[in-house]
Each structure stands twice: as structure tokens, then as C-alpha cells.
A and B are shown apart, each in its own frame.
Chain A
Amino acid sequence: MTFTQAILEALESLNGNKMRSGLTVLGIVIGVAAVIAMLAVGNGAQESITGSISSIGTNLLFVFSGSQDGPPGGPGSGRSGNNDRPLTLGDADAISDPFAAPSVELVAPVIQGNGVLTFSGENTSTTISGVTPTYFPVRNMELAEGEPINEEHLLGRMSVVILGPETAIALFGHADGVVGETIRIEGQPFRVIGVLVAKGGGAFGSEDDSAYIPFTTAQARLIKRSSRDQVDVIFVQATTAESVPQAAEEISNIIRTRHRTPIGYDDFTVFTQQDFLSTFETITGVLTIFLGGIAGISLLVGGIGIMNIMLVSVTERTREIGLRKALGARKRDILLQFLTESSLLSLIGGIIGILFGWFIAFVVGRVAIATGNNFVPVVGTDAIILSTSFSAIIGLFFGIYPASRAANLEPVEALRYE
């Protein structure tokens, strides 16, 4: 018996019981499709998250108060120990010293709070950041219209505000032509001097929904802190992407000296974008494995379905096996026949499953776009190879037992079987 003959005969035999073959194939289809779709969603999530982290800004470092020993928290999460000193404007100034920290390009101290913005009856609650002029270049933020916060605003503690596009829409109904309007923040009047370009959703909530006022104004009138010079987070831009670790080291040394921290204990944390990336890659990696694992279980169940059907088939065709043996079929002829059938079942299921899984991933992507999420599931070749080979192995593995049972039947017994 040649291989092509074996395949033709197996197809004939599977075709002879369409309903049963179809349902068995369906089990594999669902399993493979689930694996493909889940891995695609996992990969898509990973790419979307790493992409949005990259969009935060290149060469970016974050310095915030509190030690790294605990779980990492957001800026100003107030997790500081008793002896921890808060970060101050003095720290920010020291970091911007080009001699002490040659790898640092720009420094932007920020103080943050929440507040209610109102404009003629409309109101919205958002994050209000007190920033310096360096903030916008450090964060890669550009203005759609108007002018940025400058030194003059800072020195004069002026009541000016730059709005994120979403905030502008919430207040005015549109994001353009709002420069010059006066809004109220916590009841105090502020003049809108600019609107940011929309960036889309990020990993830390949308930065399009935000309001930026001069640091000094925030300090004096809106966001109260226990010590006068306190800042919540310092954004630092390194000179190049390669100098980010160098900059982190320099910043740490400067603040350690200034805070006189005990050796081996820092009361502040320097977080780089690479840290964020690797953290989220770990999280999404675990997520992908988890999703793939669950989908893999359904593939396993599909494989057991194949085994089940093959066992029934062997029992049903005992006489046929006996006859074939009487006509001169050797053990391996029978083994090959049944293995071909089970492998074909899983192979067909695998191919349909890949297409189906691709379709599911496509639909998920469409739904994500329709709901405004920037998320594209990625069907990788690795996922295709993985699930195809896995389903072929499952076909072989779960086919071996029934096939060897068929091959080892005694011809006399098999022929007598009713």
C-alpha cells in the first residue's frame, strides 16, 4: 500500500460517515481556532501596550518618591515611609545640573491633583497638572493650537491653562477655536491658551483628558502639599535612548546625596521606559500563555474526541479488519490505515481551525476598532505552526491506541465478530 492510496482510502472511509467525521473535526476546529484567536489577542494586547508605552516619549525616565522595595505604584502614590523625604524643586534643579548629570537633557517637575473644570454650565472632572515649560517637549506633546506655558506664566503665577482635546470637547463641544475662552477650575477663572494634539488612549489612561497649568500657579492656589517645594513626579529626558541607564544612575546618585539616604535604601524610585516595557511584556506574556493554555485544553478535548471516534470505528469495523487481514494485510497496513484516518481528521480540523481562528481574530479587531480601542490582534506564523503541529501530533497520539488495537486483532476472532 502506498501512502497516496492510504490517504485516498482514509478519505473514502471518512466520507462514508460524514456526520461523525464532521463532528469529530469540529472538536479540533474549535480547539485550533481557540488557540489561534487567543494567541492573536494576546499578541495584539502586547503590541498595543508596548506601542502606547513607546508613544509616551522616547528617552523618558520617571522619578517619584517612595522606595522600590514595595510594589511599584503610580506617581505620588504616597507610599513613602516615615523617614522618606518627598521630592522637591531643589531635587529637580540638581538633576538639571549639566555637570552632575551630563546624560540628562531636560527635567520637568510635576505636581498633580484632580479638579472640576466648568464652562457655562458644562463641567468635567479631570487630572490637573502643574508643569514647567519643559514638560511638553519631555512628554512629546504638541499643541494643536495656541501657545505653550512659558517662563513668564510661571513667574507671574498666571491663571492660564492648556487643555487636552477630550477635556476641551467635554467643556466646549469641540476642540478647536477655544483659545482665549475663560473657564473655571475649582471656581477660579483660568484663560485657555492652548489645546493639545490628540494622542489616543495610553497605558495610564487617556492623556487627552487632562489640564495643564503653570507649576507655580498650581502650587500657590490649587494643589496643596505639606512642604512648599514638594513635587509629585519628575519627568526626565535623557540625551539619547542609549544614555537612559546612565541618566538613571546619575539621577539616583544626586538624589541619594541630597536626601542623605542610608546605604542600600532609596526613598525614591527612578523608573525608565524600558522598565515599563519589560513589566508589561511580562504581564502580557503571562496573559498570552494563560489564554493559549485554556484554548489548548479545548484542543486536547478535541483530540480525545478523535480517539473516542476511532475506538468506535475500530470496533464497528472489526470484521473489515479481519477480512483485510485474511486478504494479506500486515499489522502495519492496518496501523497505517487507522493512523491516516485519525491524522486526516485532525489535519482537516487544523486547517479549518486556522482559518476560523483568523476570522475570530479579525472580528475581535473590528470590534476593538468600532469601540475605539487601538487594538489589532496579530495572528503570528508561530501560532499557526504551533497549532498545526500540535493538532497533527494530537491526531497521531490519540490515533495510535485505536490503530494498534485494530492492528493487533486476531484475524480469526475478527472475522467471527458480529
Chain B
Amino acid sequence: MDLVIEARDLKKTYKMGEIEVHALRGVSFTIQRGEVVSIMGPSGSGKSTMMNTLGCLDRPTSGDYILDGESVAEMTDDQLASVRNRKVGFVFQSFNLLSRLTALGNVELPLRYAGITEGRRDRAKAALEAVGLGDRMTHRPYELSGGQQQRVAVARSLVNNPAIIMADEPTGNLDSKVGKEIMNLLLSLNKDLGTTLIIVTHDPKIAEQTQRVIRLRDGELDTSGEAEGKK
């Protein structure tokens, strides 16, 4: 199987005033296309930094990161924006939908930034139908329930056919029943479309449903419990 993510010795250092904070201290791993992986770790473990780096929102201080064949560690801001647009779909804990736009408008956004005008509406509709919201297209976020909003966000994340979907605590703001539905939706999308799914979470129940768990502790891979994470 081919690799969709290849991280080699990723390091990230922040400067907080005089103090240097080592958020990542040299992390290496690979993720294969079509895999469902969760990233776990206590707060302060470098989880968020890892997600920002993998999602191309930020560059590592050193090390190599190859996403779907493109080395992104040295890219400019606009190149990163382009990679995010083409290869990464985001699902956030707090949905992050634009309240002025309809569900359809929100799902169209990534296509707009991709410069796609032809068939944009149809693609957005198809994505909304894929998450079961075919009848809510013209609703605005405040007219939708939390679960429906997150479904819109999922539709938005997959509308550009990305190489990976990064989900950051996707069920964190939902009750357990709706959360389960969203998890099932994400997993079924992975099964149907073969999209690689990376879920950042601290909920072991979520992690249980993934094929592999990457555990972080103090900015390094925590290999002690690797075996039990595997299904």
C-alpha cells in the first residue's frame, strides 16, 4: 500500500518570551492510504501541534513531512494554503461553519478557493447528500442541530476529494448518541471513499474504533501501549 503521510523526525519549537517550548521533539511515523488513525495524548503532549503540522496549518521547525507525495516542510504560506485546499479536509470540534452562509454555501467554500466554478454547486450538493443532509441545503447553521452542523462540516471536508481528513475532537461538542452517528458517518466515508481519516481525540472510546492509535507524550511518540491500541 502506498503512503499518504510520511513524517520524519518532526520537531517544533515555540518561543514563549525567553523560554523555548519543545512541542514536538522528533517524531517519525507513516500513515497508509485509506487508514483510520487516531492521535491521542494528554494535554500538553504536542497533540495540537501534531494536528496543525499534519493539516499543513503550520510548518515544522525541522524534519520532513511528505503529504501525498508533496514535501510541505519548506513551503510558503500560499503554497501551504493550496495544499490544504487540495489535500486536507478539516472537521473541527466546534464545527466552524460561517453563519451567514447556507449549508450549501459552506460546503462550496473550499471549491471557491480552489477556483472551481463549473459544477461547483452540484459537487457541493452531492457532498451534502452523502452525509444525509440532502433536504437541509438552504438552511443556515443556526437552523440546524449540532449533529447536522457537524455533518455539514464533514461534507465540507470531503467536497474537494482530499487525501486526508483531519478531525479534531469531532464529537467533543455533541452528546454521545449524536457523536456516535458522526463517528459512524466518518468511518463509513472511509470505507466507501477510501479517504484516509486522522482523528485527534482524548476519548478512548473513539480511539477504539480506529485501526491504529498514535500516542504522544511530551512531544514524543509513546510506544509503550502501542499493541493494545490496535484492533
Contacts and interface: CB of A to CB of B under 8 A. Distances in A.
Does chain A bind chain B? yes
Interface of A: 1-2, 5, 12-13, 16, 319-320, 323-333, 410-412, 415
A329 B81 contact: yes
A323 B96 contact: yes
Interface in B99-137: 100-101, 109-110, 112-115, 117
A267 B78 CA distance: 79
A318 to B, nearest CB: 12
B170 interface: no
A415 B57 contact: yes
Contacts of B41: none
A415 B52 CA distance: 10
Contacts of B78: 330-332
B52 A333 contact: no
7 contacts: A12-B100, A319-B96, A325-B84, A326-B55, A333-B113, A411-B57, A412-B52
Interface in B55-87: 55, 57-58, 77-78, 81-82, 84-86
Contact of A328 (B52, B81, B96, B98): B81
Nearest to A320: B98
Contact of A326 (B90, B112, B115): B90
Contacts of B98: 320, 323
A192 B208 CA distance: 119
Contacts of B115: 1
A408 to B, nearest CB: 9
B156 interface: yes
A328 B100 contact: no
Contacts of B84: 325-328
A166 B49 CA distance: 91
Interface of B: 52, 55, 57-58, 77-78, 81-82, 84-86, 90, 92, 96, 98, 100-101, 109-110, 112-115, 117, 156, 160
A327 B90 contact: yes
The 5 lowest CB-CB distance pairs between A and B, nearest first, are: A328-B85, A328-B113, A330-B78, A330-B81, A327-B110
Nearest to A2: B117
A226 B55 CA distance: 103
A1 B113 contact: yes
A326 B90 CA distance: 8
A338 to B, nearest CB: 15
Contact of B57 (A13, A332, A412): A412
Contacts of B160: 328
A328 B79 CA distance: 9
Given A13-B100, A319-B96, A412-B58, A324 B77 contact: no
Nearest to A12: B100
Contacts of B86: 328
Contacts of B81: 325, 328-331
A12 B105 CA distance: 12
A4 to B, nearest CB: 10
Of listed A319, A327, A410, residue having the most chain B CB within 10 A? A327
B129 to A, nearest CB: 20
B57 A330 contact: no
Given A326-B90, A327-B156, A328-B82, 19 more contacts: A2-B117, A12-B100, A16-B100, A323-B96, A323-B98, A325-B84, A326-B55, A327-B85, A327-B109, A329-B81, A330-B81, A330-B82, A331-B77, A331-B78, A411-B58, A412-B57, A412-B58, A415-B92, A415-B96
Given A16-B100, A319-B96, A329 B113 contact: yes
A5 B115 CA distance: 11
A313 to B, nearest CB: 13
A314 to B, nearest CB: 15
Contacts of A323: 96, 98
A88 to B, nearest CB: 86
Nearest to A6: B112
Contacts of B57: 325-326, 411-412, 415
